[in-house]
A and B are shown apart, each in its own frame.
Chain A
Amino acid sequence: MRVASIAIAVLALAACQRQVREVEVVDITPADLSSLGLPALSAYGFFVGPLHNLEPADGVWAYELNSPLFSDYAFKQRFVKIPRGSKVGYHDTEVLDFPEGSVLIKNFYYPADFRKPDGERRILETRLLIFEKGEWQALPYIWNEEQTEAYLDVAGRTVPVTWTHQDGVVRHVDYSIPNANQCRGCHLRGNKVVPIGPSVRQLNHVARGKIRSQLIEWQDRGLIDLPAGQDLPRLAAYEDMREPAEARARAWLEINCAHCHRPDGPGKTSGLHLLASVTDRAKLGIGKAPVAAGKGSGGRLYSIVPGQPDQSILQYRIESTHPGIMMPEVGRSVVHDEGVELVRKWIANLK
């Protein structure tokens, strides 16, 4: 009897703890997304064969970037659809000038074993940037578990993912699929949505197993006219150990930070500008006091203290996973170990 009574007491306590954690989900309004885009990814006809093979249809081209954004170690497979007969306009430094009707298609997936990147994989989401009537629209599609279809969902979702890392260690993240506003949060320039990746500097890249830059291939297909007789500008590939350490660190900072931290980006309020082309030491954060960092400063006084990564706010924030401290603010829940190491070495060598 005594045991039973104690059990009742324990149960009562357990019940009360569980009660705290349980959260009832309430639907306050039915959502109608039909005005935004097609409800299912397959309906666009970007791919032929089983959808999860991501086999591009006619007029849809695969491409890669020199330095990709870190997204919790997710792999990305990118495609661009250029309307037949249209050409992409060339630009030295900024994102290329895509013609009306272009679509950028970015698929996020995790191989089960990173040492076999072409083996079994799970696709989580496909993000579309559609250029219509002179404006880019961002549409997120979330894949079903059966990997047969992806559906338009603007509210985002968190999905637990497990994989075997390059070093053989099993890793786990709660992968966050952004909501449509979070898409805009990174892709907004002024008050317009724009692509971030596909600039000449990023696309001037020789893909695995190829010998020519993919831009030359684009030109051969009649997709772009490149300026003749000059070397095309190029952003370093931060994963390429053969590149200079400083160029790799600056490339990592550009793709992970400078979509906001640039003079016309949402991070302009901070006065910190991290495009790889910035040479002004104060704008880069060297000896710069924080503006509205709050606890994001971690008690450190300057964005970058030359030679002292552990006294630099920038290093503190890219090494944090606290939602109120970490940078970038969205798109990751774990630290990019290899990336922060690059930045650490760069700051340590700064004079």
Chain B
Amino acid sequence: MKPLTGLVILLAALFLLSCSATQDDISWKSIEKSLQTQFITAADGDTIELPAGHYQFTRSLTLDGKKNITVRGQGIDKTILSWHAQTEGAQGLQVSNGVNIVLEDFSLEDAKGDNLKVNDTRGITLRRIRSVWTAGPQTENGAYALYPVLCKQVLIEQCIAMGSSDAGIYVGQSDSVVIRNNKAYWNVAGIEAENSRYVEIYGNEAWENTGGLLVFDLPGLTQYGHTTRVYDNYLHDNNQINYAQKGNVVASIPPGSGMMILATHNIEVRNNKIENNRSVGIAIVSYELVAAINEGVEEQPHAIGGVQTVNNQFREDSLYNAFPYDVRIHHNQFKNSHWFPTVRSDIGQLLITKSFMQPPDVVFDGIPDPRQTERMICIHDNGDITFINLDAANDFKNLSKDVTAFKCPGGQAQR
């Protein structure tokens, strides 16, 4: 054999090896037709077992109008459902109009829209589901990894969410929600409860998102949120750039935000570890600030009309309160090894120019609510924290670091 021929054969062998070594070589199979048929014909009380293996889908897989159904895979690393070849439908897996639905022990990947959407369902459990976009943070990724909306009795536990261009674990317009012991990373928002009531968020770890954990109340939706407990979570290093699509509310989250409380009430945040977020540990803000950030967008060249209309709308909505109140933040542990706030966010730049060199642990926008002066924003027993009241309504003229004004009766401002 001539040496050259040997070389070519070696190259050919290498080609084969290299392609079998990449992820593309996963032997994808299709159970789409039979699984979808099974989902449609399932009877009350059925358990649907998903086999081990890598399965690809071309359209949304839907479970609609079913009662007491368990869909069980063979494990988070064993049963992989992927929509990388999706040609139709926005969602990957969609559950709707169900009662007592349990999804457990499988992975969802790469849907064009949301990987998992659950709507109008009473009793939904997501357990040991990994929901990811395999390419990592990309604006092109779908919005939500795990997305129950308009549901009651929601339990999300031991799940993993990664790569969502909006929020990883996102519960919207729902009641009686438990989000516990999950992991969320490389999303724009790691975990978000929005317009939801009676929510417990505990034991979760959110890291390397743009914002780690959000409790939001937004105007113009079917219900408004309140009453949320956030405890025993570990929110750290949420310094991901904000790769959300412009125009969405989360696009205004400053990179480096550990936690954000927006325009909601009856919120308790205790016993969390909040570390190394380069803009702010916890921000307490009103919708006025979000609107102001959007106003900034409007002033750009090629700006469009309508912001004024939106502002007027939420201010005239008598059912919506744009200002956070009854917020109690206590016994949290803050730590920051960063010397400077990040210059990647507007708020970080503002803090540097205002000579607050270390990223603050707690920030309150300080915008007064014209309808309510006593708002019970209580911040106490969090150790020796750095605090800033932005006075955002007056162009930050009276920025203040004094947290004692927020200790509330019974609380200790500083240890």
Tell me, yes or no, whether A binds B: yes
Q: Report whether A24 and B30 are in contact in the complex, using a CB–CB cutoff of 8 Å.
A: yes
CA distance A295 to B133 in the complex (A): 14
Whether, in the assembled complex, A221 has its beta carbon less than 8 Å from a beta carbon of chain B, the answer is no
List B contacts of A83 (CB < 8 A): none
| Closest chain B residue, CB of each to CB of A33 | B41
List A contacts of B398 (CB < 8 A): none
Whether, in the assembled complex, B20 has its beta carbon less than 8 Å from a beta carbon of chain A, the answer is yes
Q: Report whether A185 and B64 are in contact in the complex, using a CB–CB cutoff of 8 Å.
A: yes
Q: Report whether A295 and B140 are in contact in the complex, using a CB–CB cutoff of 8 Å.
A: yes
CA distance A282 to B311 in the complex (A): 12
Whether, in the assembled complex, A302 has its beta carbon less than 8 Å from a beta carbon of chain B, the answer is yes
Whether, in the assembled complex, A146 has its beta carbon less than 8 Å from a beta carbon of chain B, the answer is no
Shortest CB-to-CB span from B21 to chain A, Å, is 10
Among B111-119, B234-242, B259-267, B358-366, the stretch that binds chain A is: B111-119
Whether, in the assembled complex, A154 has its beta carbon less than 8 Å from a beta carbon of chain B, the answer is yes
Whether, in the assembled complex, A169 has its beta carbon less than 8 Å from a beta carbon of chain B, the answer is no
Shortest CB-to-CB span from A248 to chain B, Å, is 25
Q: Report whether A287 and B247 are in contact in the complex, using a CB–CB cutoff of 8 Å.
A: no
List A contacts of B86 (CB < 8 A): 323
Of A13, A25, A182, A324, the contact of B29 (CB 8 Å cutoff) = A25
Whether, in the assembled complex, B221 has its beta carbon less than 8 Å from a beta carbon of chain A, the answer is yes
Per-residue A-contact encoding for B197-226, CB less than 8 Å = 1, 0 else = 000000000000000000000101110000
Number of chain A interface residues as a range: 35 or more
Please provide the chain A residues from 302 to 351 with a CB less than 8 Å away from any CB of chain B in the complex.
302, 305-306, 308, 311, 313, 322-325, 329-330, 333
| A294 and B113 in contact, given A9-B8, A266-B119 (Cβ under 8 angstroms) | yes
CA distance A311 to B13 in the complex (A): 53
List A contacts of B56 (CB < 8 A): 23
Whether, in the assembled complex, A292 has its beta carbon less than 8 Å from a beta carbon of chain B, the answer is yes
List B contacts of A322 (CB < 8 A): 112
Please provide the chain B residues from 14 to 35 with a CB less than 8 Å away from any CB of chain A in the complex.
15-16, 19-20, 24-25, 27-35
Whether, in the assembled complex, A180 has its beta carbon less than 8 Å from a beta carbon of chain B, the answer is yes
| Closest chain B residue, CB of each to CB of A184 | B64
Of A155, A266, A288, A296, the contact of B37 (CB 8 Å cutoff) = A155
Shortest CB-to-CB span from B57 to chain A, Å, is 10
CA distance A100 to B286 in the complex (A): 54
List A contacts of B37 (CB < 8 A): 29, 31, 33, 154-155
Whether, in the assembled complex, A291 has its beta carbon less than 8 Å from a beta carbon of chain B, the answer is yes
Whether, in the assembled complex, B382 has its beta carbon less than 8 Å from a beta carbon of chain A, the answer is no
Whether, in the assembled complex, B409 has its beta carbon less than 8 Å from a beta carbon of chain A, the answer is no
List B contacts of A290 (CB < 8 A): 247-248
Q: Report whether A174 and B30 are in contact in the complex, using a CB–CB cutoff of 8 Å.
A: no
Q: Report whether B149 and A292 are in contact in the complex, using a CB–CB cutoff of 8 Å.
A: yes
Per-residue A-contact encoding for B132-166, CB less than 8 Å = 1, 0 else = 00000001111110010110000000000000011
Q: Report whether B35 and A28 are in contact in the complex, using a CB–CB cutoff of 8 Å.
A: yes
| A184 and B15 in contact, given A295-B139, A329-B89 (Cβ under 8 angstroms) | no
Q: Report whether A26 and B114 are in contact in the complex, using a CB–CB cutoff of 8 Å.
A: no
List A contacts of B85 (CB < 8 A): 23
8 shortest A-B CB distances, which residue pairs?
Answer: A294-B143, A287-B309, A16-B19, A5-B8, A324-B112, A324-B113, A181-B62, A287-B306
Give 11 A-B contacts (CB < 8 Å), ordered by A residue: A24-B30, A28-B38, A29-B38, A33-B41, A155-B32, A289-B247, A290-B247, A294-B165, A301-B294, A301-B307, A311-B304
